[in-house]
Amino acid sequence: MDRSYTIRKKLGSNQIIWGVFTLLLAISSCKSAKDKLPEERAQAILNEMSLEEKAGQMTQLSIEMILQGKDQFNLTKPHALDTVRLRKVLVEMGVGSILNVPGNTFTLAQWKEVSEALHAYRMQTRLQIPVLYGIDAIHGANYTVGATLYPQQINLAASFNTDMIADMATNTANDVRASGLAWNFSPVLDVARNPRWPRFWETFGEDPMVASCLGSSMVKAYQMPSKNGLPGVAACLKHYVGYGDARSGMDRTPAYIPERQLREIFLPPFAQAIEAGAQTIMINSGEVNGEPVHASKFLLQTILREELKFKGITVTDWEDIKNLYERHKIVSTYKEAVAVAINAGIDMAMVPLDTLFTHYLIENVKEGNISMTRINQSVLRILTLKFKLGLFEHSPANSSKYDSIGSDQSKELSLALATQSLVLLKNSNQALPLSPTEKILVTGANAHYINALNGGWTHTWQGRDTTYNSEVPTCLEALQNIHGMDKVVYLPGNTYDTNLSDEALLAAAKNIASVVLFLGEDTYTEKPGDILDLELSAAQQHLIKVYKQAGKKVIVVLLEGRPRTFANTESLCDAIIFAGLPGDAGGTAIANVLCGLSNPSGKLPFTYPRYSSFHLTYDCKYTEVLNKDFKPLGFNPLFEFGSGLSYTGYVYSNFTCDKESYTLSDTIKMNVTISNIGNMEGLHTALFYSKDEVASITPSVKKLRAFRKIFLRPGASEIVSIELPVQHLAFVGLSNKWGVEPGSFKLSVDTLSQNITITNQ
C-alpha cells in the first residue's frame, strides 16, 4: 500500500458540509471585520481613479500581448518580454490582469522575470495598482517546470478522498504563488452529465453532491494562507453555469436546462463553493435556454448575486464578450456586446488578444450605455481582491518565501491520489493482480506515452508536447521497474487507429499468457476534443478480440478523459481498470495495482455507458430503468456509478437508522458495520443513497447523500456513522424551490436498506 503517505489519516468524507438549505441560509451571514479593511482600502483608491484607469482594471489580456514578436500570434522564440508593449499595456492602458502562458511552460526563473517586469511597470503608474495574474493550474502548477502534477479532477473524484484533495490544492496554491501568480482558474464545478463533452475529465463527474463537497474543499485549501501565514491563491469556479450539459455533447454548444434541473443539479456545486468563500467565478462560454450566459441578468445577477450572495469577481471566459456578436449573434457589434455583458454583471473581460474591449468600455460609459455605478461596483471588487491577496504589499521577491516546488512529499501525495483514483471495474477469475512470475506482453497506444497519463492543461493547453516530464515513467517503464524487465515484453506500433498485422500481434505474444492493453484516448481539451462517436476506436477493440481469440488473458487499462464505450469487446476482457488521467505518478500507480503492491479503491464518479448513443445518469427516473417488459431498453450501463472492485472483500452488516420516523428538522443517524473479509488491507468508500418513494416531481431511483472512505486491515471491522439532516433529502419542486416532501424514504448502503418516514411535525 501507499505507506509513505499518511493515508490512514487522509480519508474522504462529505460529512463536513453538504446541504443546499444550510448553505443558502449561511451564505447571507456576516463578513469579519478583517475582511472590511481591504474593501475600505479599495474604496479609497477607487475614489481617485479616472474612467480610463477603471476600464484598465476590468481588462485581462493574455501574456502574448506583452511579448516580443511581429504580433501576438507570431511571437519571437525564445519568448522575451517586449518593453514597448509592456509600457502600452500596463502604463498607458493600466491593464489590471494578465493570464496564461504563450504555448509553453515557464521555469521559475522565467516566471520571476515576468513578475519583476509587471512590478516594475506597475510602479510607473499613477496609482501603482498591482497586476493580478491568472493561470489554469488545474492539476498542480501545470505551467511551471518542475512542479508536481497530480491526477485530473475526474480521478480526484474517483478517489473520494476529500482530505488528500485538499492537500493537493494546498500544494498547488504554494506552487502557483512560488511562480509569482495569485489567481488559479480552478476548480471546474460543471456537473458532467454528458460523457461526450470534451471537458468531462476536468469535472468531478456526474453527481452534484460529490462536486459540491470536493469542489468546496479545494476552494478552501487554495485560498487558505500557507502554514507560514503567506496568502494563498484566489480560486475561480468554472464555468458558471450549465456548461457541462450541451445537448450536442460538443464544446460550447447550446444547453437546454429547465430551471428545476438548473437548481437541483448544476447550481449546488457553485452555491457550496461560494459559501466556502470562493473569490472569483468564470462564466460559461455557452448559452443556456437560448441566452448566452455572459448576457444573462437572470443567471449573473438574480441567481449569482441576489440568491447565492456571491461577492467576488465574475470574469468572462476566453473572448466571450466578442463572442456575443461574433458567435452567438445577439448583437451586431463588439461595442454593443461590451455593454450587454457589463450590464449583465461581468466584472472583468478575458479579452484577451486585443485592446478594443477597453476602448469600447470607455466609449460606452461616455455615451451613457453603461453607468459609472456599474463600473465602480466591478472595480471595487477587483481592487478588494488585490488587497485580500496581499498584492499591494507584494514584491516579486515574496515568491521565494513559499516552499520549494516538486517536493518529495508532493510526489508522494500525487502517487497516493493516483493510486486511490484507479477503478478496478472487472476482475474475472482473479485475473489481477499479476502473478510475480508471469511474463506479460504490453501494447496499446497509451502504453509508453506520458501525455496519456496527464491529459490536457499539461505544460501546454492540449497537453501534447512530448518534451516535458521525461523523468516520469510511462506505464510500460513503471511495469518494467516493478514487474521486472525480463518479464515485460513490449510491442510498439499500435496506435489509436491502426494496428500491426494480426500475425505480428500474435507473434509478439508467443509463449505469453497475459496481455496488458493500454487503451483509451489521446489528450485534448475544449473544442479540439469534440467527437462524433463515443465508441472506443475499432483498432483498439480489435486488439482485445485478437488476443482473446488466441486464448490470452486480456487485461485492459483505460487511459481516457471520458468513458469510451466498448460493449461488444468488454465481455472479452478478463480485467479492466479505468485509469482516467492519473497524472505524473499514474504509470507507477497503475503498475503497483497491476502487480498487487497497491489495492485498488477508486469508485466511478460517473455512469459508464454501454451504448455510444444511449446514456442515463445513475439518478435517472423509474420510467428509465430496466424493466421486464422492455428489457434491453432501459438503464443498463456497462458499469454503474460507484462501481469499483478491490483485491480484498468487504461485507456490510447491521445497517441501522436511529429512528423509524423523523420530522423535517431532524437529523438521521445511520450506522453500518463494514468488515474486510479478505487477506489484503485496503481503503474503501461507502456510498449512502436515498430513495424518495413517492414525490410530486417524479423521484430519482436513487440519490447519493453521503460518502465515507475508511481503511481496513484484513479481518478488521469498522462501524461507519453518518449524520444526514432530513433537509438533505430535499428536491426542487414545481415552484422551483427546494423542499422535503413528507412520506416514505428508503436509505441504502451497498445491498442493505432501511425504510423511514418523514413527517411534517
Nearer to ligand BGC, 529 or 682 (CB): 529
Q: How far is the CB of 233 from ligand BGC (least distance, A)?
A: 14
* Euclidean distance between CA atoms 325 and 369, whole angstroms: 17
Instruction: Answer yes or no whether residue 655 interacts with ligand BGC by CB under 6 A.
Output: no
Beta strands 731-732; 738-739: pairing state: antiparallel
Q: Is 43 within 8 Å of 384 (Cβ atoms)? A: no
Q: Which residues pair with 81 in a beta bridge?
A: 67
Please identify which residue in 298, 318, 496, 611 interacts with ligand BGC, judged by CB under 6 A.
Answer: 318
Nearer to ligand BGC, 136 or 264 (CB): 136
Helices (H), 550-624: 567-570, 586-594
Number of residues that bind ligand BGC (CB under 6 A): 9
Beta strands 97-99; 132-135: pairing state: parallel
* Euclidean distance between CA atoms 152 and 145, whole angstroms: 18
Instruction: Answer yes or no whether residue 526 interacts with ligand BGC by CB under 6 A.
Output: yes
3-state secondary structure 427-473: EHHHCCCCCCCCCEEEECCCCCCCHHHHCCCECECCCCCCCCCCCCC
Q: What's the gap between Cα 116 and its chain centre? A: 31
Phi and psi (nearest 5°) for 217?
-70, -35
Q: How far is the CB of 434 from ligand BGC (least distance, A)?
A: 39
Instruction: Answer yes or no whether residue 200 interacts with ligand BGC by CB under 6 A.
Output: no
- Give the residue among 579, 733, 727, 755 at the shortest CA–CA distance from 663: 727
Q: What's the gap between Cα 320 and its chain centre? A: 21
Residue from 207, 245, 317, 619 carrying the catalytic annotation? 317
Q: Is 579 within 8 Å of 422 (Cβ atoms)? A: yes
Q: Is 200 within 8 Å of 607 (Cβ atoms)? A: no
Instruction: Answer yes or no whether residue 238 interacts with ligand BGC by CB under 6 A.
Output: yes
Question: What is the DSSP secondary structure assignment for residue 146, as one 8-state letter?
Answer: T
Name the helix (H) or strand (E) containing 377: helix 372-388
Phi and psi (nearest 5°) for 387?
-70, -45
Burial zone of 567 (CB within 10 Å; 0-12 exposed, 13-18 middle, 19+ buried)? middle
Q: What type of residue is 62?
A: S
Instruction: Answer yes or no whether residue 64 interacts with ligand BGC by CB under 6 A.
Output: no
3-state helix, strand, coil in the chain (%, to 5): 35, 20, 45
Whether 35 sits among the annotated catalytic residues: the reply is no
Nearer to ligand BGC, 136 or 560 (CB): 136
Q: How far is the CB of 322 from ligand BGC (least distance, A)?
A: 13
Nearer to ligand BGC, 64 or 136 (CB): 136
* Euclidean distance between CA atoms 583 and 578, whole angstroms: 14
The DSSP string of 220-265 is HHHHSPPTTS----EEEEEEETTGGG-TTSSTT--B---HHHIIII
Phi and psi (nearest 5°) for 71?
-155, -175
For residues 274 to 303, the per-residue mask of contacts with ligand BGC, x marking binding by CB under 6 A and - elsewhere, is --------x---------------------
- Give the residue among 405, 419, 404, 406 at the shortest CA–CA distance from 151: 419
What lies within 8 Å, CB to CB, of 518 at 6+ separation is: 442, 443, 444, 445, 446, 447, 452, 475, 476, 557, 559
Please identify which residue in 57, 59, 72, 100 interacts with ligand BGC, judged by CB under 6 A.
Answer: 100
Give helix then strand counts, H and E, for the chain. 22, 28
Nearer to ligand BGC, 185 or 325 (CB): 185
Q: How far is the CB of 315 from ligand BGC (least distance, A)?
A: 9
Nearer to ligand BGC, 326 or 723 (CB): 326
Instruction: Answer yes or no whether residue 59 interacts with ligand BGC by CB under 6 A.
Output: no
Q: How far is the CB of 185 from ligand BGC (least distance, A)?
A: 4
Nearer to ligand BGC, 112 or 252 (CB): 252
Nearer to ligand BGC, 110 or 323 (CB): 323
Q: How far is the CB of 198 from ligand BGC (least distance, A)?
A: 11
Nearer to ligand BGC, 244 or 473 (CB): 244
For residues 110 to 139, the per-residue mask of contacts with ligand BGC, x marking binding by CB under 6 A and - elsewhere, is --------------------------x---
Cβ neighbour number for residue 502 with a 10 Å cutoff: 14
Nearer to ligand BGC, 282 or 585 (CB): 282
Q: How far is the CB of 73 from ligand BGC (least distance, A)?
A: 16
Name the helix (H) or strand (E) containing 490: strand 488-491
Contacts with ligand BGC in 134-163 (CB under 6 A)?
Answer: 136
Using only C-alpha atoms, the chain has a radius of gyration, in whole angstroms, of: 26
Q: How far is the CB of 270 from ligand BGC (least distance, A)?
A: 15
Contacts with ligand BGC in 349-388 (CB under 6 A)?
Answer: none
Q: How far is the CB of 199 from ligand BGC (least distance, A)?
A: 8
Q: How far is the CB of 564 from ligand BGC (least distance, A)?
A: 22
Cis peptide before 78, with omega less than 30 degrees from 0?
Answer: yes
Please identify which residue in 2, 167, 175, 317 interacts with ligand BGC, judged by CB under 6 A.
Answer: 317
Nearer to ligand BGC, 281 or 543 (CB): 281
* Euclidean distance between CA atoms 440 and 318, whole angstroms: 46
Give one word for 623, left, alpha or beta, with left for phi > 0 and alpha for psi -120 to 50.
alpha
Q: How far is the CB of 723 from ligand BGC (least distance, A)?
A: 36
Instruction: Answer yes or no whether residue 185 interacts with ligand BGC by CB under 6 A.
Output: yes
By the criterion CB under 6 A, which residues form the site for ligand BGC?
99-100, 136, 185, 238, 282, 317-318, 526
| Residues labelled as active-site residues | 317
